[in-house]
Structure 1
Amino acid sequence: MELFIGKGGVGKTTLACASALAYARSGQRVLLASLDQAHSLGDALGFRFRRAAGAAPAVAAVATGLDVIEVDSLALLEDRFRQVLLMVSGAGHEHGIDLGALDPAELTGLPGVQELLALLEITQFARDARWDVIVVDCPPSADMLRIVTAPDTLLGYLERVWPAHARTMESVGGDFRRAILAITVEQIVSAVSEARDLLADRDRTGARLVTAAEQVAVAESARVRSAAALLGLRLDAVLVNKVLPELPGFDPAVPPHPATQWYFNRRGEQLDVVAELRRRLREVSVQVVGHAGSEPVGLSSLEALSYAVDASGNWVGWHPVPMLGTDADGVLPVPAEPVVRLEAGAGVASVFAMRMHLPVVDPSTLRLGRVEDDLIVGADGVRRRLRLAPVLRRCTVDAAELDGDQLVIRFRPDPQVWPS
């Protein structure tokens, strides 16, 4: 699964369409899905999605090997979850809450509900064997990061207010209505866990950040890179869109026309941004997408643009500058998960170090916390709950520091629980 993220106005939807068409042209079966509630996918393709009033949208074929869908989370809520609410109506809760009394339109105001529904829909598509590749046109960056964090947020909340062992007891208890509610919640937990695992699976899911060749985009791209690293999302590439091509035949002895001079200056500014991105994001492939002139709209224009994409989804013609310690693609290798090592000592005198890739933009935003067997890490406005390795669950945090792009946390055994 390939996620296209970025703020509005950078051509994110256009590049997602072109990539999907390139995959389809290579003979793969592709689903292009939009989670962006602006519903600009149909506009980009020049395609009108047809659906019955109040019904969830269906998958439609627009080209050979390419299916598309605009995921409408409100319609999904009304179409898919009304039966669940009716089933648990009157099941009750110790706080007197009756889920069946809620209207689907009211539930959209609850934080994370729409994001979760859209993500669960994508997870169902990924489970389906109909497609080889799923390309997702995501909402703007901040909204997409909320979608990525939504599963852990819901699962953590459910575990606190109604732990798994309590739900198990209710499911086999004598109260039939509460047993139905417990089983239903368990099904929701299973589905949300599957969605969380899909996003975190670096072998199945990757993201491409689409940005503009502007100075303000450098800091934004660095923050998204930081958030992706913290959340465990594989960031495959940063696509710098609409970079002006080189003008041939320029004679430096002839004074240029003002328009030509502006063009050269603007292109120089864009290339400076590309160079800065490659310097700051050394572990990510920074690729340049040339300016296509008029905005590509419709299948014919997008098909022409898709020839700039290779079989792996990379935009060809521009490559990162190789740097010391990089792999064959010019990208620094990054460990997928935190690494724990014994640094010194033995037994209760041991010192363990946990290292995780965390390229923090603003070190002052770094926050650490401990909740039972979980470590809470926050940085650059994003927070993640990490399950500690078994050896660290009997330890206390001794110190923490940033070592370049690495967060290093040192632990010492707690003598009260450490095995003698």
Structure 2
Amino acid sequence: MSTTGTRVELFIGKGGVGKTTLACATAMAYARAGQRVLIASLDQAHSLGDALGFHFPHDPGTVTGIAKVLPDLDVIEVDSLALLEDRFRDVVRALSGTGHDHGIDLTALDPAELTGLPGVQELLMLVEITEFAGDDEWDVLVLDCPPSADMLRIITAPDTLLGYLERVWPPHARAMSTIGTDLRRAVLASTVERIVKAVTEVRDLLADHTRTGARLITVAERVAIAESERVRSAAALLGLRLDAVVVNKVLPAVPPPDDATHPAMQWYLNRRAEQLDVIDRLRYSLDGTPVLIAQHTGPEPVGLTSLAALSYAVVGDDPAPPRTTSGEPMVRWESGTGLQSVYALRMHLPVVDPATLRLGRVEDDLIVGADGVRRRVRLAPVLRRCTVDGAELDHGYLVVRFVPDPEVWPI
């Protein structure tokens, strides 16, 4: 077992880029290296079983369990609706018998009515994955995620929920409710505390750069360059480590043909040249992020035998990416003393379009938006007594400078 805990690898990308097959191949490479692996599908258009040539049993009203496909490789397709129904029953059971003369009777609700609430199902899936990561059963979790835009939105769900709960029912108010005389309110407060604890663990796992990373699966097409740049920017802003961009279905080199003028050969050589040009541009634009190549396999790799062959071609003998330290914003003192002090907050943010950069301040949070993604960054205690003095982009980093607020700065 890894000394830093179970590692988590997120595979993200658009549909049709072979994300699921590469996730399966990587999982098999980990298993071949002696790691205990669980590959989980979070994409509700589940194709994990299709790629593995494995049929998952689906019993209505039950949460699909974990199945073993190889000695060190387990698989699961996480059904968010079944999870919602299962967890909702637990909540209703906890609140039953506490009296509903006033307020809402939760037993009158149907779990399906909650599916429309933004982020509920996605959060339950992430909570389930975090529980898997906390077990001593696997060394690596490989996650076949929803398409990149959806997954990046899901990653914001923990902070969004925690921020909302803190505003509408602060921790001190919940604590008072747990020791009050209103039994129903006390049970509800305890339930919310359990939710907060679980969601906090999700947030911390996603932000832990020593354990969690993502791989963006794409193809060698020109539109992929801008998309990959935006995903890298969004991942940096959200605090998710992007390990690599994997370019799938790249045509392999061929020996010099006897007849290079044949139309089919001309098409092949021209298409490969276009792909290599895209890869060169990706490596230039994503300076610092590894760009890996997965060659076209010909027939679609389906089933354990084909995926095992692909696992050698994709990752070789060492599938694990290097681990880095936390990507959280760093704060340092720059100059001055007392009210003349200047502090700088520095965070990794390779913005694609600087015109999209937006900054705001809400109480103790700095709001940062760029390339269509927004994040609330909790300020360090010293910065909460400061005002923003300016900001700049500096070679892939956002630097925000603060000066003391005379009204709250200690004299």
Asked if these proteins are the same fold (TM beyond 0.5), I'd say: yes
How far apart in 1 are the matches of 2:310 and 2:229? 27
Say which SS state the counterpart of residue 412 (structure 1) adopts: strand
Superposed displacement of residue 137, structure 1: 0.4
* Unaligned residue ranges in structure 2 (runs of 5+): 1-7
Question: Compared with structure 1, are the counterparts of its residues 260 and 314 closer, same or farther at alpha carbon in structure 2 (3 Å cutoff)?
Answer: farther
Partner in structure 1 of residue 75 of structure 2: 68
How far apart in 2 are the matches of 1:63 and 1:164? 45
Which range is displaced more, 375-384 or 130-139? 375-384
Partner in structure 1 of residue 290 of structure 2: 285
Kindly provide the amino acid, as one letter, of the partner of residue 206 in structure 1.
G
Question: Compared with structure 1, are the counterparts of its residues 100 and 381 closer, same or farther at alpha carbon in structure 2 (3 Å cutoff)?
Answer: farther
Kindly provide the amino acid, as one letter, of the partner of residue 162 in structure 1.
W
User: Does the 8 Å CA contact 1:51/1:58 hold for their aligned counterparts?
Assistant: no
Superposed displacement of residue 97, structure 1: 4.1
Residue 119 of structure 1 pairs with residue 110 of structure 2: no
Number of aligned residues = 403
Partner in structure 2 of residue 310 of structure 1: 316
Residue 403 of structure 1 pairs with residue 403 of structure 2: no
Residue 296 of structure 1 pairs with residue 287 of structure 2: no
Kindly provide the amino acid, as one letter, of the partner of residue 138 in structure 2.
W
Partner in structure 2 of residue 151 of structure 1: 158
> Aligned ranges for residues 152-301 of structure 1 at < 5 Å?
152-250=159-257, 255-301=260-306
Kindly provide the amino acid, as one letter, of the partner of residue 50 in structure 2.
D
Higher RCO (CA-CA < 8 Å; seq separation 6+): 2
Which range is displaced more, 82-91 or 102-111? 82-91
Partner in structure 1 of residue 375 of structure 2: 384
Which range is displaced more, 33-42 or 399-408? 399-408
Percent identity reads: 72
Residue 83 of structure 1 pairs with residue 74 of structure 2: no
How far apart in 1 are the matches of 2:353 and 2:18? 28
User: Does the 8 Å CA contact 2:210/2:326 hold for their aligned counterparts?
Assistant: no
Query: How high is the TM-score relative to the length of structure 1?
Result: 0.92
How far apart in 1 are the matches of 2:249 and 2:395? 32
Kindly provide the amino acid, as one letter, of the partner of residue 247 in structure 1.
V
Say which SS state the counterpart of residue 355 (structure 2) adopts: helix
Partner in structure 2 of residue 326 of structure 1: none
How far apart in 2 are the matches of 1:31 and 1:255? 47
How far apart in 2 are the matches of 1:233 and 1:92? 43
Kindly provide the amino acid, as one letter, of the partner of residue 366 in structure 1.
L
The superposition leaves residues 109-147 of structure 1 with CA deviations (integer Å, 9 ceiling, x where unpaired) of 100001001111101110111111110000001111121
Superposed displacement of residue 8, structure 1: 0.4
Superposed displacement of residue 26, structure 1: 1.2
Question: Compared with structure 1, are the counterparts of its residues 194 and 250 closer, same or farther at alpha carbon in structure 2 (3 Å cutoff)?
Answer: same
Structure 2 counterpart of 1:29, from 36, 44, 51: 36
Q: Which runs of 4+ in 1 moved over 6 A?
A: 90-93
Partner in structure 2 of residue 416 of structure 1: 407
Which range is displaced more, 133-142 or 372-381? 372-381
User: Does the 8 Å CA contact 2:220/2:275 hold for their aligned counterparts?
Assistant: yes
Partner in structure 2 of residue 367 of structure 1: 358
* Unaligned residue ranges in structure 1 (runs of 5+): 316-328
> Aligned ranges for residues 21-60 of structure 1 at < 5 Å?
21-60=28-67
Superposed displacement of residue 250, structure 1: 3.6
The superposition leaves residues 287-309 of structure 1 with CA deviations (integer Å, 9 ceiling, x where unpaired) of 01100001100111101111122
Superposed displacement of residue 164, structure 1: 0.6
Say which SS state the counterpart of residue 111 (structure 1) adopts: coil
Superposed displacement of residue 80, structure 1: 2.5
User: Does the 8 Å CA contact 1:91/1:98 hold for their aligned counterparts?
Assistant: no
Say which SS state the counterpart of residue 81 (structure 1) adopts: helix
Say which SS state the counterpart of residue 20 (structure 1) adopts: helix
Partner in structure 1 of residue 3 of structure 2: none
Superposed displacement of residue 350, structure 1: 1.2
Kindly provide the amino acid, as one letter, of the partner of residue 5 in structure 1.
I
The superposition leaves residues 203-243 of structure 1 with CA deviations (integer Å, 9 ceiling, x where unpaired) of 11010000010101111111110010001101000000000
